[in-house]
Chains A and B, each alone.
Chain A
């Protein structure tokens, strides 16, 4: 079963607009990560936020984490056509076996 669920499942915006994707999860976590996937192949790590952090920035990416609500959001500012991809959140559970569990993904389409 999926640990996380992204919302929305699909998002279509125009270039220059901001894109916001949300992720909810179920269990206690060590950290939460966001990944990007092009063309249904390998995923690329974007950003990691630890459970004791509330917000993190990397370039045009901004991630927030609310552990009380077990939710996170990924904001991509000033989107570009090249940002078109699927975005997944992944959680590393607490405990010694910190396996990564992925959400269902958001398909982002950025049009010119």
Chain B
């Protein structure tokens, strides 16, 4: 089917508000990643889901950030009490089963978050 879908494409929010970013991975992909990319910078790892295993949350920058993956498919990244430094492009990617050797990731187009 279609590739990785992220919504919204762009989000402008006021400082202090909560936001939810959505990611629909490719059907059948067991791995799902969230990354953050500030302007002109590299990709900062946030969180990684792999099948039914406990997610790797080691990249979440603060307790204002959380993510869920329901039914092993759709994922939502929630940022509470947004701050201006949260402004960035949030990228989601998914990978097919196999892990280890076969871990090519397929990316969505990202959500550009602007906190004003």
Contact A102 B100 (CB under 8 A): no
Contact B43 A45 (CB under 8 A): no
Residue A101 is within 8 A (CB to CB) of chain B in the complex: yes
Contact A30 B100 (CB under 8 A): yes
Residue numbers in B under 8 Å from A99 (CB-CB)? 31, 33, 45, 48, 50, 56
Chain A contact residues: over half helix, strand or loop, or mixed?
strand
A100 partner, pick from B41, B53, B105, beta carbons under 8 A = B105
Contact B103 A42 (CB under 8 A): no
Contact B104 A98 (CB under 8 A): no
State how many angstroms separate the Cβ of B109 from the closest Cβ of chain A: 5
Residue numbers in A under 8 Å from B107 (CB-CB)? 35, 42-44
- Give complex CA distance A79, B52 in Å: 43
A41-B109, A42-B110 known; A98-B33 Cβ under 8 A: no
- B→A interface (CB under 8 Å): 4, 31, 33, 35, 37, 39-43, 45, 48, 50, 53, 56, 89, 91, 93, 95, 99-101, 103-110
